[in-house]
Copies of this chain bind each other. A is one copy, B any other.
Amino acid sequence: MRVVVVNVNTTGSVTEAIAASARAVAAPGTEIVGLTPRFGAESVEGNLESYLAAVGVADAVARYAASGERFDAVIQAGYGEHGREGLQEMLDVPVVDITEAAATTAMYLGHRYSVVTTLDRTVPLISDRLLLAGLDRRCASVRASGLAVLELEQDPDRAVAAIVEQARVAVEQDHAEVICLGCGGMAGLDATVRAETGVPVVDGVQAAVTVAESLVRLGLTTSTSRTYAAPRTKKITGFPLEMS
Contacts and interface: CB of A to CB of B under 8 A. Distances in A.
Contacts of A66: none
A148 B213 CA distance: 34
A147 interface: no
Contacts of A90: 48
A223 B109 contact: yes
A20 to B, nearest CB: 16
A20 B128 CA distance: 34
Q: Quick one: copies of this chain in the complex?
A: 6
B226 A124 contact: yes
A58 interface: yes
Nearest to A175: B226
A98 interface: no
Interface in A157-212: 171, 175, 177-178, 198-200, 202, 206-207, 210-211
A63 to B, nearest CB: 13
Given A108-B94, A239-B40, A58 B51 contact: yes
Contacts of A111: 124, 226-228
B131 A86 contact: no
A110 B228 contact: yes
A172 to B, nearest CB: 10
A199 B229 CA distance: 11
A72 to B, nearest CB: 14
Nearest to A91: B48
A50, A218, A243: which has the most chain B beta carbons within 10 Å?
A218
Contacts of A67: none
A18 interface: no
Contacts of A25: 217-218
A161 B231 CA distance: 26
Given A215-B105, A225-B171, A237-B10, A134 B138 contact: yes
B228 A108 contact: no
Contacts of A45: 231-232
Interface string A46-60: 111111101110100
A236 B40 contact: yes
Contacts of A88: 47
12 contacts: A10-B235, A39-B237, A42-B234, A47-B89, A48-B85, A56-B238, A100-B107, A109-B221, A112-B124, A124-B226, A210-B214, A214-B214
